[in-house]
């Protein structure tokens, strides 16, 4: 078996766990193909398997890669999604970050997780991605997001006016600091912080949530993910910020923008005992009442 290994980089105190990770791969006869910048960072501190390989770009990931293992937090998972793209390679997140909502495998589960990879005894969930169409080229070869698309005002500018259309029909005009379109996966992220609802990963929905709206009667709305959602922006500033997950570009306010469901999905690996409801309870304290403890 051959797996890809991606990370943004880790802290010195995590080297012991990283060594354990590579030792477990070797023990299960799994060949790692390590992201080149990460390989360069750890090669002086970590004893890598002799058969380890490197990759520098998504094009170097062959069809023999069965999984990509993301070492980090949820932000690292979002990076990994852009590397995988439409290659149909499942992504497994081992949490070296904080919350670990998407990177749901804990460091204490390293050994059992790698055994599960070797035995292929994992569950693979398919997650919808959001695709961005724009009147000018944006985000290179990765105009898609796992969590959300967002429009923001520039840092010092007043609120912006976002005319939002659903399949060509006016949905609403938002006076706000910005607007989020979240996938079900992203409903527990930025959308949740802006008072948007949580939706189940297989719900077939997008959530449209305003950021700091100026009207009391404006609320988030859930729409079918078969919709095409388009936007026209008015702003006193000449520029606005457009974001896909943690990536952003500053563009002219007159740009034409539309989002829709991406043609491919991301495969997210979880261990058998983990599911969405358990993750809600464990990571977001869903339903926790101190009176009953």
**Range of the structural domain that residue 165 is part of:** 129-263
Provide the phi-psi class of 201: left if phi over 0, else alpha when psi is between -120 and 50, else beta. Answer: alpha
CA dihedral (221, 133, 146, 64) positive or negative: positive
Q: What are phi and psi of 123, to 5 degrees?
A: -105, 135
| Whether 169 and 101 share a structural domain | no
| Domain identity same for 182 and 232 | yes
137 neighbors 120 (Cβ within 8 angstroms): no
Give the chain's end-to-end CA distance (angstroms, integer).
Answer: 45
Structure tokens at 111: 């050994």
pLDDT tens digit string along 91-131? Answer: 999 988 776 778 888 888 888 999 999 999 999 999 999 99
Predicted pLDDT of residue 142: 95
CATH number at residue 158: 2.60.200.30
pLDDT in tens, 238-251: 999 999 999 999 99
- The answer on 258 and 279 residing in a single domain is no
**Pairing mode, strands 31-35 and 91-95:** unpaired
Whether residue 134 is found in the same domain as residue 259:
yes
CATH number at residue 97: 3.40.50.10330
Q: Which tokens in the block code for residue 27?
A: 């023990």
Q: Residue 134 in contact with residue 145, Cβ under 8 Å? A: no
Whole-angstrom distance, CA of residue 210 vs CA of residue 3? 40
Q: In what order do the strands lie in the sheet with 178-182?
A: 221-224, 205-211, 178-182, 148-153, 239-244, 247-252
Is this model's pTM higher than 0.75 or not? yes
Between CA 138 and CA 239 the distance in angstroms is: 15
Task: Say yes or no: 284 and 215 in one domain.
Answer: no
The answer to whether 82 and 147 have CB atoms below 8 angstroms apart is no
> What residue has token string 């939002």?
164
* Calpha distance 153→133 (Å, rounded): 19
Residues labelled catalytic:
74
Instruction: Tell me the pLDDT of the chain (293 aa) as tens digits.
Output: 999 999 988 787 888 889 999 999 999 999 999 999 999 998 888 888 888 999 999 999 988 999 999 999 889 999 999 999 999 999 999 988 776 778 888 888 888 999 999 999 999 999 999 999 999 999 999 999 999 999 999 988 889 999 999 999 999 999 999 999 999 999 999 999 999 999 999 999 999 999 999 988 899 999 999 999 999 999 999 999 999 999 999 999 999 999 999 999 999 998 876 678 877 887 777 777 767 66
């Amino acid at each position: 078996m051959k797996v890809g290994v991606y990370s943004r980089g880790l802290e010195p105190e995590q080297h012991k766990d990283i060594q354990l990770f590579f030792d477990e791969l070797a023990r299960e006869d799994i060949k790692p193909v390590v992201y080149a910048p990460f390989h360069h960072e750890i090669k002086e501190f970590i004893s890598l398997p002799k058969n380890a390989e490197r990759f520098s770009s998504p094009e170097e990931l062959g069809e023999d890669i069965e999984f990509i293992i993301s070492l980090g937090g949820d932000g690292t998972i979002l990076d990994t999604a852009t590397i995988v793209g439409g290659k149909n390679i499942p992504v497994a997140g081992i949490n070296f970050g904080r919350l670990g909502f998407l990177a749901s495998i804990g460091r204490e589960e390293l050994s059992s997780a790698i055994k599960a990879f070797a035995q292929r005894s994992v569950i693979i969930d398919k997650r919808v991605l959001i695709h961005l169409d724009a009147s000018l080229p944006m985000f290179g070869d990765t105009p898609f997001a796992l969590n959300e698309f967002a429009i923001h005002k520039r840092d010092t500018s007043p609120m912006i006016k976002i005319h939002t259309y659903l399949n060509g029909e006016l949905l609403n005009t938002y006076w706000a600091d910005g607007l989020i379109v979240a996938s079900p996966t992203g409903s527990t992220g930025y959308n949740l912080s802006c008072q948007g609802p949580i939706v189940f990963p297989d719900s077939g929905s997008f959530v449209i949530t305003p950021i700091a709206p100026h009207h009391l009667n404006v609320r988030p709305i859930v729409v079918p993910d078969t919709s095409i959602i388009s936007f026209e922006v008015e702003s006193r500033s000449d520029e606005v910020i457009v974001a896909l997950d943690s990536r952003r570009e500053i563009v002219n306010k007159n740009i034409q923008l539309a989002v829709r469901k991406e043609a491919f999905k991301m495969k997210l690996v979880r261990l058998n005992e983990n599911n969405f409801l358990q993750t809600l309870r464990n990571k977001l304290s869903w339903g926790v009442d101190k009176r009953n403890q």
